């Protein structure tokens, strides 16, 4: 596998995203990064609303940092769309 940090075609931001997409993190790190509890994480996974971990060994599972970050960005985008929709509704009601 090529060393991504040596890949010349990635601008700095894209290089960091590529590196993040290859980093495994523990459940406790997922909890710290997202602020969500263990029970919430597993319930959201059961409902297909959160990334699933990768089996690394028979007893070890790890999440991919880039997938967790993408889930967080999706939630931010959903919030922003909802705010914009509410703003448009208020503007239309005021006219």
pLDDT, tens digit only, all 95 positions of the chain: 444 444 444 456 677 777 767 899 999 999 999 999 999 999 999 999 999 999 999 999 999 999 999 999 999 999 999 988 888 887 778 76
Question: Which sequence spans correspond to the domains of the chain?
Answer: 18-94
- What distance in Å separates the CA atoms of residue 32 and residue 30, rounded to the nearest whole number? 5
* Local structure of residue 49 (DSSP, 8 states): -
pTM over 0.85: no
Mapped onto helix, strand or coil, the DSSP state of residue 52 is coil
C-beta pairs of 36-42 under 8 Å, 24+ apart in sequence: none
What's the pLDDT at 14? 73
What's the pLDDT at 38? 98
In the chain the first and final C-alpha atoms are separated, in Å, by 59
């Amino acid at each position: 596998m090529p060393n991504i940090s040596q890949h010349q075609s990635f601008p700095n931001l894209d290089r960091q995203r590529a590196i993040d997409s290859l980093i495994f993190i523990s459940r406790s790190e997922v909890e710290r990064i997202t602020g969500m509890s263990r029970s919430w994480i597993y319930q959201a996974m059961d409902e297909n609303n959160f990334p699933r971990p990768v089996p690394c060994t028979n007893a070890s599972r790890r999440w991919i940092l880039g997938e967790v970050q993408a889930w967080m960005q999706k939630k931010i985008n959903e919030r922003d769309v909802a705010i914009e929709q509410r703003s448009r509704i208020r503007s239309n009601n005021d006219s």
